[in-house]
A and B are shown apart, each in its own frame.
Chain A
Amino acid sequence: QKEVEQDPGPLSVPEGAIVSLNCTYSNSAFQYFMWYRQYSRKGPELLMYTYSSGNKEDGRFTAQVDKSSKYISLFIRDSQPSDSATYLCAMTEGSSYKLIFGSGTRLLVRP
């Protein structure tokens, strides 16, 4: 079993839709959770960073962490074609230098 599971997609939605991206994990020691956005043939860009359970909002993006269920989500409101990219979740114990990444979900927002 992988430490971090992420549906690879692709996920295709119409412009303006609410998008939900999810990851599950097995290591209860993970404390820090991140979402990265990666455009084709580019380096990942840090979108959201959370530490505690609950929600964190930044513009159209909301990151949600449920440590009891070992489940994290990224919600994108009013999705735009420019949001089309691969979204990677990542997490770490904090005491480790090693981030564990999900395999990424490819998102396509149709105009």
Chain B
Amino acid sequence: SQTIHQWPATLVQPVGSPLSLECTVEGTSNPNLYWYRQAAGRGLQLLFYSVGIGQISSEVPQNLSASRPQDRQFILSSKKLLLSDSGFYLCAWSVVPTGEKLFFGSGTQLSVL
């Protein structure tokens, strides 16, 4: 069966520090991969999605970037964190080609202080 791993679960970082969140999927090949952010009491905002290695689409211009160095690995990064980057970050995957059903990781709560 397919599983998705996301870490760390909680992260506290100072303003201006770099960020790297990693996500890996097991049990499937060539999945679509996604990074979402969820602000408190709000819906999910799509940040990035990827349909293949090295292929990244950005939905919202911001202080973050994403990379997909391997088929089942998706990384969210920032060179310098802002206070506004705080939030709950979720990695997700979906099956190609349908793509409608998303399966989420357990999330990373990021606090930028």
Contact = CB atoms under 8 A, between A and B. Distances in A.
A49 B102 contact: no
Given A44-B90, A103-B41, A104-B43, A97 B99 contact: yes
B99 A103 contact: no
Contacts of B102: 34, 44, 46, 90, 99
Query: For this complex, into which size category does the number of interface residues on chain A fall?
Result: 20 to 34
Main secondary structure of the interface of B (DSSP, over half): strand
Q: How large is the interface on B (under 10, 10 to 19, 20 to 34, 35 or more residues)?
A: 20 to 34
Interface of A: 4, 6, 8, 32, 34, 36, 41-46, 49, 88, 90, 92, 94, 97-99, 101-104
16 contacts: A4-B43, A32-B100, A34-B101, A41-B109, A43-B106, A44-B102, A44-B104, A46-B101, A46-B102, A49-B100, A97-B57, A98-B59, A103-B42, A103-B43, A104-B41, A104-B43
